[in-house]
Structure 1
Amino acid sequence: MKKLFKLIERSVVKINNWKHVPNSKRKLLYICPHVYKGRTIEILDGTMIKNGDVVAEMHIDNLKVDQLENDYRKLFRRLKEELQALSNLIINEKEFEEIKAYHGTTLLYPLAKKQGFTIVEMDKGPKKYFLILWENILRIVFKKDKKIRDRLRTPKECWISKGQLLQKYIGT
C-alpha cells in the first residue's frame, strides 16, 4: 500500500509542477506560486489576502517525512530550516518579491502554529472533504505504529505573510 501512495505522491508532484524550495538543503517543502481565489483572509500580522493576490502554496514532501520516521521534533526542526531557506529566497530572488503570503493545508497545523502561521478553518465543500480523506489516508499509510488507528482528523489552512517570514527567519 505504501508503494502505491509513494507512486501517487510522485505523480501529483510532477503533474502540478511543484518545486522544492530552491536553496533548501533538506528539500522538505514544495512551493507553488499562484493567484489567490477565495474569501478574504486576515493573517495575524494584519496582512489581508484577497482575490487576485499572488501567494504561494506549500506542500510537505511526504516521502521526506516518511524518512524522518514521523519524529515530530525532527520534523519541527526541518520545517524551521525550510522556512529560513524560504526567507533567504524571498530576499535574494526577484521572482518571489510579489508573493504576499504562503499557505498550505495540513493535519500538522499545530507545528505550523508554533512556527508563526495563522490557522484557518477550511471552507465547507468537496475540496475540504477530499482533503480530510486524503490527509488521513496518508497519515495511516505512513504511520509507523500500525496498531494505532484513531478517528479522522480535519486538516486546516495555515497562512504566513512574507513580512512574518522575513521577520521571524532572516538571520536565524
Structure 2
Amino acid sequence: MPKTMKEKAVQCLLAMWGAVDPIYYACSRLEYAGEEADGRRSIFRVRPLQYKGETIRLSDGTMIEANDWLLKIHLHNVRLVRELLHYKSDIKKGRYIFEQVKTGLPYVAYHLYHHEQSARMKGIIGITMLNKGCERLGFEIVDISNPLYRWFKTASLLPLMAVAKSCVSPFSRPPKYLLMSKEKLFSLYGYHLIH
C-alpha cells in the first residue's frame, strides 16, 4: 500500500533527525547507559548535571537543592519514535514506552553506581512530556516552576512533537521534571539485576 503524504513527511523528518542526532550526541557529552542482552544500547542516554532549580523534597526525604549533582537521563527519542510508528493503538504505544523505560532503568542504576562522581550525585532527573504512569516506575513528577525555562523546554521539544504527534498522543502535556533519589533507584533497579 503506498504511503500517505503524512507518512512520507514523518519518514523524511525522522531521516533528517537521525542524521543530526549523532552530532547532538557528540556535542552534548551524553553516554549510553549500558547495553541490553540482545546487544542493543539502552534507550537511555545520560550525563552528570548540576541542578539549578528550586529546592525539591522527595518523598523519601532526599532534598534536591541548587548546585546538587544529579544524573540527567534522556530518552533516545529518534529510536523511540521510529519504533512507535509500528503501533496503531495509543494503549500499545503507552505500554511500549513504559516497558522501554522500565527495561532501561537497571542500566541507569548500574551506570550511576559505577560513575566516578556517584558519591556526590543525589539521584536522577529527566524532563519529559511523556510523564503519564511514571509514578508506577518510582519517579516523582515535579512542575517546572520557572516559566522561562518551561517555555524553553517546550520549544526544544517541538521537533519531537512535530514528528511524534501522530504516534504519541500524550505530547499535549506540559514538560515536567521526573526525579528519583539514588537510594530509591538502587532499591528498585539495583545494578545487580542486569547481571
TM-score after normalising by structure 1? 0.83
The answer to whether residue 125 in structure 2 is matched with residue 103 in structure 1 is yes
Partner of 2:157, secondary structure, is: helix
Question: Aligned match of 1:19 in 19, 31, 39?
Answer: 31
SS in 2 for 1:160: strand
Task: Give per-residue Cα distances to partners, 1:95-130, cap 9 Å, x unaligned.
Answer: 423211110110111142221111111123332112
Q: Is the 8 A contact 1:132 1:152 kept in 2?
A: no
Secondary structure of the structure 2 residue equivalent to 1:139: helix
Unaligned runs of 5+ in 1: none
Q: Tell me how large the CA RMSD over aligned residues is.
A: 2.5
> What secondary structure, in the 3-state scheme, does the structure 1 residue paired with 2:152 have?
helix
Q: Pick one of 96, 101, 120 that aligns with 1:79.
A: 101
Partner Cα separation in structure 2 for residue 110 and residue 62 of structure 1:
17
Please list, as runs of the form range in 1=range in 2, the aligned pairs for 1:10-159 lying within 5 A after superposition.
10-21=22-33, 23-25=34-36, 26-69=41-84, 71-145=93-167, 152-159=172-179
C-alpha displacement of 1:61: 0.5
The Cα of 1:92 is off from its aligned counterpart by 4.1
C-alpha displacement of 1:151: 8.1
Q: Which moved more, 1:33-42 or 1:81-90?
A: 81-90
Q: Quick check: which one's helix share is greater?
A: 2
Q: Give 3-state SS (helix, strand or coil) of 2:47's partner.
A: strand
Identity of aligned residues (%): 22
Corresponding position of 2:8:
none
SS at 2:120 equivalent: coil
What count of residue pairs does the alignment treat as equivalent? 169
Q: Which runs of 5+ in 2 are unaligned?
A: 1-12, 86-92
- Deviates most, 65-74 or 101-110: 65-74
CA contact (8 A) 2:153 2:175 kept: yes
Check whether the contact 1:31–1:58 (CA below 8 A) recurs between aligned residues. Answer: yes
TM normalised by structure 2 equals: 0.74
| C-alpha distance after superposition, 1:39-97 (max 9, x if no partner) | 11111211001122111111110122023226322221221121112223334444423
Shift of 1:31: 0.8
Structure with larger Rg: 2
Aligned-partner Cα distance in 2 for 1:150–1:118: 18
